[in-house]
Structure 1
Amino acid sequence: MYLYTPADVDRKRAHHQAVKQDADDVPTKRRGNLGELAFEQFCREYLPVEMWEWENEAAIRKCNPESFSAYDFEVFGYEIDVKTSRDVSAFQPSKLLDQDPDDDIIVMVWHRDNEDGLILLGWERVETLKSKVSTQGAYSGAEPTKLDHLATRPMNELMDLGPNTAHMNQKPQNPFAPGDRVIKSGDEDASVAVVIEVLPPEKDVGVYGQSMDGEAVCVAFPSSLDQGPSNWRDIDPALLSSYCDDQDIKLYTYKHTNLEFATNPFTPGDRVVNATHDDPDKAIVVARADDSAAEPVSVVYTGQLDDPEMAPGALDSHCEDMGIKQYSYAPDDLEWAD
């Protein structure tokens, strides 16, 4: 058995996708999504990436409704459905067949009450389940009152269905996560971008007509995000991919080794406080100078503005027109206000 502990990004995407799916039972759908994420991690650790495919990867990453598919994964050519439940009696052979008699294999995932941990209990062939149900009905007679048969094979036996691959460990190697502020490496005039999506390492992404050799990271620039109908800074980083997809905000794809964390991550519109002050007031970034400047971040305090929700692109000219004093600080002196 294997324990999967979902990251915060996974938990929030699993829930938001269930909401956008307009599921009849959002908690059940959310747990099902977490079960698929758990099995995806198992596949990434132990199975050759060329020999498995997750049908719902893009839908959950972007929090979009799933396109209809009779199964969740295809592994070694087998159609696999993932069943997730807190009630282990749901994994009795007859109950599994009642829910899903048409796939090749069923993977069983148990979850804790607060969904902070899921255990991959095992898997079983559907044909074997049918045989067990038939045998129980014909020959077994009455079951013990306190013992119910659960059909399951150890998770690591799934590897035996394919070639001998030992320990694959094909997890992403890049250090970035949604919401990170990054710049293009080696570009002195690079603009700050926001990481929106970290694509699976096996995803074949084409850039300018050429296949990318390496892991891909999709970013958006704050100037584009500011054009959207909502304040993107108030959106959880895990859901930025959903927001950009809904609002058709253009994303740019980079090889992860061509990006680095921005030493000066602040852009116009950001809410900040001065960490060197004992009781700091909230300020808004008005302009960002080159990193080589002594104090490259200019801010005004929210009390100086009649409309703190003004479009970020208009802040600098508005302050100049109205004679509003700006204050300049080094990035190391500033922290995010929220």
Structure 2
Amino acid sequence: MYLYTPDEMDRERAHHQAVIQGAENRDVKRIGNLGELAFEQFCREYLPVEMWEWKNEEAIRRCNPESFSGYDFEVFGYEIDVKTSRDVSAFRPANILENDPDDDIIVMVWHRDNEDALILLGWERTETLKSKVKTQEAYSGEEPEKLAHLAARPMNELHDLGPNTAHLNQKPENPFSPGDRVVKSGDDDASVAVVVEVLPPEKNTTAYGQEMDGEAVNVAFPNMLDEGPGNWREIHPAKLASYCDDQDIKLYTYKHTNLELAENPFTPGDYVIKPDYDDPDLAMVVEVNDEGDNRDIAVAFLHHIEEESGGQMYVPPAKLRSHCDECGVKSYSYESAELSFEHQY
């Protein structure tokens, strides 16, 4: 058995995809998505990457509705459906067949009540399940009241269905996550970009007509995100790929080794605080000085902006400086190292 612990990004994507899908029972759809994420991690650790395919990878990464597919994964040519449940009785052979009679293999994943951990219990061929049910009906009669048969072969036996391979561990080497602020390595005048999505390492990605040798990262630039219909800074980073896809915001693809975390990550419109204060007020960046001044970030406190804006709820980041000047909102200058993000999602 294998334990999978979803992080905040996984949970947000699993839930938002269920919302976008329009599922009648979002809780069931969300936990089903987490089960698929768990099995994807197992595949990445133990199975040759060129011999399995996750049908819903892009849909969950971008929180888009899934295109119809009768199964979740294809592994070594077998159609595999992932069944996730808190109720272990769902993994009795007859119960599995009632819901999933047509797939080649069923993978069983159990989850805790609060969905903070999932356990890959095992897998079984559908044909074997049918045989077990038939045998039980013919010879076993009623099962003991306190002892029910659950179907499960050990997860590590799944690789026996394919070629003999060593432990592969094909996890991404990419160090970035959605929401990270990055710049192009070696460019002293590079603009700050926002990581929107990290592509799986097996994706054959092209950039400028050339196939990319390495793991790809899609980024968007804040000024382009600012032109969208919503305040993207109030969207969880896990949903940025969905937002950009919905709004046709252009993404730029980089090899991950060509990027580095931005030393000064702030851009106009960011929510920030000065963390060394005991009870810091929320502020917004109104200007970034690129001329090398030590006090390179100008901010205005949010309550001052709201008080002086006459009820105007949102000011485009590009107009924050002029808006504050026109309304008499005082700004204050700080070094970028003195400030930290105070996210509003």
TM-score range, shorter chain: over 0.9
Match of 1:83 in 2: 83
1:335 Cα deviation from its structure 2 partner: 1.9
AA paired with 2:82?
V
Match of 1:178 in 2: 178
1:140 Cα deviation from its structure 2 partner: 2.0
The answer to whether residue 101 in structure 2 is matched with residue 73 in structure 1 is no
Superposition pairs for residues 45-194 of structure 1, below 5 Å?
45-194=45-194
* Rounded Cα–Cα distance in structure 2 between residues aligned with 1:51 and 1:291: 52
Across the aligned residues of Structure 1 and Structure 2, the Cα RMSD in angstroms comes to 1.6
1:131 Cα deviation from its structure 2 partner: 1.0
1:48-104 per-residue CA deviation (whole Å, 9 max, x = no partner) reads 100000000000011111100000000001000000011111111111111111111
1:276 Cα deviation from its structure 2 partner: 4.5
Q: Secondary structure at the match of 1:183?
A: strand
Superposition pairs for residues 314-329 of structure 1, below 5 Å?
314-319=319-324, 325-329=330-334
Q: Secondary structure at the match of 1:179?
A: coil
Residues paired across the two proteins, number: 338
AA paired with 2:300?
V
Flag the 1:148–1:311 CA change in 2: closer, same or farther, 3 A: same
Match of 1:237 in 2: 237
* Rounded Cα–Cα distance in structure 2 between residues aligned with 1:279 and 1:121: 47
Q: Give structure 2 stretches of 5+ with no counterpart.
A: none
1:325 Cα deviation from its structure 2 partner: 4.7
Flag the 1:144–1:65 CA change in 2: closer, same or farther, 3 A: same
* Rounded Cα–Cα distance in structure 1 between residues aligned with 2:32 and 2:237: 22
* Rounded Cα–Cα distance in structure 2 between residues aligned with 1:268 and 1:52: 43
Q: Secondary structure at the match of 1:81?
A: strand
1:285 Cα deviation from its structure 2 partner: 1.2
1:281 Cα deviation from its structure 2 partner: 3.3
AA paired with 1:90?
A
Flag the 1:187–1:148 CA change in 2: closer, same or farther, 3 A: same
1:315 Cα deviation from its structure 2 partner: 1.9
1:260-312 per-residue CA deviation (whole Å, 9 max, x = no partner) reads 00110110111222334455433221221237332221223335532373111
- Identity level (%): 70
1:166-192 per-residue CA deviation (whole Å, 9 max, x = no partner) reads 211111111111111111111111111
Q: Give structure 1 stretches of 5+ with no counterpart.
A: none
Match of 1:3 in 2: 3
Flag the 1:287–1:27 CA change in 2: closer, same or farther, 3 A: same
Q: Secondary structure at the match of 1:203?
A: coil
Match of 2:294 in 1: 294
Match of 1:336 in 2: 341
* Rounded Cα–Cα distance in structure 1 between residues aligned with 2:295 and 2:70: 57
Flag the 1:157–1:291 CA change in 2: closer, same or farther, 3 A: farther
* Rounded Cα–Cα distance in structure 2 between residues aligned with 1:325 and 1:22: 46
* Rounded Cα–Cα distance in structure 2 between residues aligned with 1:291 and 1:185: 20
* Rounded Cα–Cα distance in structure 2 between residues aligned with 1:265 and 1:213: 27
Asked if 2 retains the 8 angstrom alpha-carbon contact of 1:264 and 1:291, the reply is no
* Rounded Cα–Cα distance in structure 2 between residues aligned with 1:291 and 1:255: 29
Q: Secondary structure at the match of 2:214?
A: coil
1:319 Cα deviation from its structure 2 partner: 4.4
Flag the 1:291–1:261 CA change in 2: closer, same or farther, 3 A: farther
* Rounded Cα–Cα distance in structure 2 between residues aligned with 1:337 and 1:116: 25
Q: Secondary structure at the match of 1:107?
A: strand
Flag the 1:11–1:278 CA change in 2: closer, same or farther, 3 A: closer
